[in-house]
Copies of this chain bind each other. A is one copy, B any other.
Amino acid sequence: MVGRPRSETSRRAILRAALDLCERDGYQNVTLKGIAQAAGTGRQTVYRWWRTKAEVMIEALTAFVEAPTGSEDLRTFLLETFRLSGGAVGGVIVGLMADAQSDEAFAVRMRGFIDSRRRALHAVLARTLSADVDLELAVDMVFGAMWYRLMNRHAPVDESLADDVTAMLARLSS
């Protein structure tokens, strides 16, 4: 038999509440209880479909945030990427990373999320850099710089970073 179908309304309310609370209180201070409450849903409804706060958040990110595809030129790609990672998203993904440290099952899931972004940047760099550059490392350094600034906040992740990184990479192919 079939049973009552899953409520799409509740699902979206939960994902939306997750991001909203994250923006308001910071990832660490968001609780599943709080998400359920804010979404006007029962706590069990959250637990039925997600195991942890991190699972909710990662689905919320994929649901509400569309990533660059890798078909743009380098500077455009970086601009788009950096714009997205500012705001709430940056805080969320840093928190997710922290949770992934102590939950290997989730770390794998997280890696999948990250890899799709890596592949996109990889595609862009493959078209941009000369053939003898270590593309994997280049990806690590570009995204690394972004993450590093997102976390430590010693400098902004903005247009000028996109320019500077583009310029730096240009030197590699000269």
Whether A168 lies near B153 (C-beta < 8 A) is no
Copies of this chain held together in the complex: 4
Whether B107 lies near A153 (C-beta < 8 A) is yes
Asked if A68 is at the interface of the complex by the 8 Å CB criterion, the answer is: no
Q: Tell me the smallest distance from the CB of A143 to a CB of chain B, in Å.
A: 6
Q: What is the 8 Å Cβ interface bit string for chain A, positions 126-156, against chain B (1 contact, 0 not)? A: 0000000110111011111111110111110
With A and B bound together, what is the CA distance between A95 and B27 in angstroms?
Answer: 13
Across the interface, A101 reaches (CB within 8 A) one of B28, B134, B138, B165, namely: B28
Which of A10-18, A57-65, A78-86, A108-116 participates in binding chain B?
A: A108-116
Residue of B nearest to A115 (CB): B154
